Amino acid sequence: MKQLKCDLLVIGAGSGGLSVAAGAAQMGADVVLLEGHKMGGDCLNYGCVPSKSLIASAKAAYGQGHSAGFGVANQLPQVDYAAVMDHVAEVVASIAPMDSQERFEGFGVRVIREFGHFISPTQVQAGDAIITARRVVIATGSSPLVPPIPGLNTVPYVTNETLFDLREKPEHLLIIGGGPVGMEMAQAHVRLGCKVTVIEGQRALGKDDPELARVVLDSLRDEGVDIAEGAMVSKIGGSAGAIEVEVNTGSTFRGSHLLMAVGRKANTNRLNLAAAGVETSRSGIQVDEQLRSSNKRIYAIGDVAGGMQFTHVAGYQAGVIIRSALFGLPSKARTSHIPWVTYTDPELAQVGLTEAQARDIHGVTLEVVRFDYHHNDRALAERKTGGFIKVMVVKGRPVGVSIVGHQAGELIGTWSLALANGLKMGQIAAMVSPYPTIGEINKRVAGAYFSPRLFDSQFVKRAVRFVQRWIP
């Protein structure tokens, strides 16, 4: 066995692990990085990058068939599903060098392409190497959750890890799970010419504000996606090309392909965490505000830490880890300013508290301010007028923002900045946004907060009359 020592051992080369490894190595730490599968992790290979690439192809197909409103005749799109998936693969390949072993070795990171497991609280074995590290960061991510549904093991199915390997277009795609992944893939495939049915045991997009979710779901239904809510799967049967999904309501859904999109599970099985004294829960490794596990020399970030499962969260947590592990500075992770986006059309974005959460916490001190897309001139020009923004405000400060509509994911960044830095609505209103842009929506909703204070105030009106009468 080779004996290695390092300052920092990073287990997992996904978004969070790569950020920690690169930052720490470039700041002078001796870093070892373990990855037993693909560099770049889920986001690059199976998640964010391929899914958004597929969505881009679907958007192009949809645009061909819905251009008459712009004075351009509609055309029936000729979709080559294999070519679409080749496009997806090309995008992944173009980004892969940024996450490659060679690039990170260039930063000074020792990369070992093996899975690792703990053999003591300070040692990890990976292949023929035993690594002793002053501190360890676990960034092993998560994998698709596949529940033990009766009959599922008798039929072929795909998850986000295998969906992008398809080259033959599904005739009728059944999707179990109505969360963001399920709904994004449902819309993409219906736009690419597939018949699509989504089967959700509770409420589709159930983690989002119901008012915003309804706008998205109505849009998907208008495009032809069949969405069955309150339909808990009880049994799966059939065979390849003829899959049957039975639900608790007595209905049976039939399709050619099956996508499982019911959630994620933390990747902890290989790690032998008991040997390290690291405690876990059903959602992943238990961590404190500094992202430390029950073994204070071992940190966990990203999906494996059991919190918000987004690539940008892992990247943010990497910064928290670097300040704490490298410099010994107090550094706590928080979530109040973390946004998330569902990349349907229209997009759905959220940061901070939803309206229901804000009402529960703040009660009568809460003000909810809204602005509709159809009052935005750029949205009118683009024919993207469906949607709205609402901002939850307490004593002049936003505590949460919900947006559904065109480019909602781009708009939400301004509000993440506001929540991260405790900005007031006046500071948002003071922003100058170029005309005409969708970004004006952020400024206009801030203006809507102040409008009744200015235009409906008798004090303001009396002050104006006084100035006009007596001040030369």
**Given this model, what pLDDT does residue 209 score?**
96
Average confidence (pLDDT) over 291-299: 96
84-88, 322-326, 464-468, range with the lowest pLDDT: 464-468
Using alpha carbons, select from 374, 446, 447, 439 the residue that is nearest to residue 407: 439
- Annotated binding-site residue numbers: 52, 116, 140-142, 177-184, 200, 263, 303
Residue 132 has pLDDT above 90, yes or no: yes
pLDDT in tens, 86-107: 999 999 999 999 999 999 999 9
What's the DSSP call for residue 29? -
What's the DSSP call for residue 155? S
What's the DSSP call for residue 99? G
Q: Kindly report the length of the chain.
A: 472
- Annotated binding-site residue numbers for NAD(+): 177-184, 200, 263
**Given this model, what pLDDT does residue 309 score?**
87
- What percent of the chain shows pLDDT beyond 70? 97
How does the average pLDDT of the chain come out, rounded?
94
What's the DSSP call for residue 149? -
Tokens 């002050």 locate to: 463
Average confidence (pLDDT) over 32-43: 95
CB 101 within 8 A of CB 113: yes
**Given this model, what pLDDT does residue 461 score?**
66
| Cα dihedral value 49, 52, 53, 57, nearest 10 | 170
pLDDT in tens, 449-462: 987 765 566 666 67
Residue 206 has pLDDT above 90, yes or no: yes
Alpha-carbon distance 397 to 423, whole Å? 6
Q: Which residues contact 468 (CB under 8 A, 6 or more apart)?
A: none
Average confidence (pLDDT) over 338-355: 97
| Cα dihedral value 111, 113, 115, 121, nearest 10 | -20
Alpha-carbon distance 126 to 113, whole Å? 8
Average confidence (pLDDT) over 189-205: 98
CB 114 within 8 A of CB 129: yes
Residue 126 has pLDDT above 80, yes or no: yes
Using alpha carbons, select from 288, 284, 247 the residue that is nearest to residue 268: 284
In order of 5, 172, 291, 299, the CA distances from 123 in angstroms are 9, 49, 19, 14
Residue 139 has pLDDT above 80, yes or no: yes
pLDDT in tens, 366-382: 999 999 999 999 999 99
Domains of the chain, earliest start first: 2-39+100-144+265-327 (3.50.50.60), 152-262 (3.50.50.60), 339-455 (3.30.390.30)
- Annotated binding-site residue numbers for FAD: 52, 116, 140-142, 303
Alpha-carbon distance 63 to 223, whole Å? 13
**Given this model, what pLDDT does residue 472 score?**
72
